[in-house]
Amino acid sequence: MQKWEYLFLEASPYPFGDRLINLYVNGQELRDWKEGSLHLFVNQLGDEGWELVDLHHDPKYDHNYLIFKRPKVVKKASRAKPSSKAKDA
């Protein structure tokens, strides 16, 4: 069965233009995001395999809430192979 991982994004743009006042990913502020543009950040997420599944705009505070998902990579537990020394003993 397919498993998913989710990313929650909160972005507050300046009133005019595409620049961001703040950007939060999963509750953590990204202070080092130098580009400052929401569309560039969303394109970067798309390049990393994230798909936008929901968007909510709060006009009162001009906040955007975006939810992304991508297939979760499930690492299969590998069985330890017996060493050749164990076979010879």
Would residue 80 count as lying in a domain?
no
Mean pLDDT of the chain: 85
Q: Helix, strand, or coil here: 48?
A: coil
Name the β-bridge partners of 56.
65
> In the structure, what pLDDT confidence band is assigned to residue 81 with cuts at 50, 70 and 90?
low
CA angle 65, 29, 64 (to 5 degrees): 15
Would residue 76 count as lying in a domain?
no
Domain that holds residue 63: 4-71
**Percentage of residues of the chain with pLDDT beyond 90:** 47
Is residue 77's pLDDT more than 80? no
Would residue 86 count as lying in a domain?
no
> In the structure, what pLDDT confidence band is assigned to residue 89 with cuts at 50, 70 and 90?
low
Residue 38: count other Cβ atoms within 10 Å of its Cβ.
19
pLDDT at 85: 57
Per the CB < 8 A criterion, the answer to whether 2 and 70 are in contact is no
Number of domains in the chain: 1
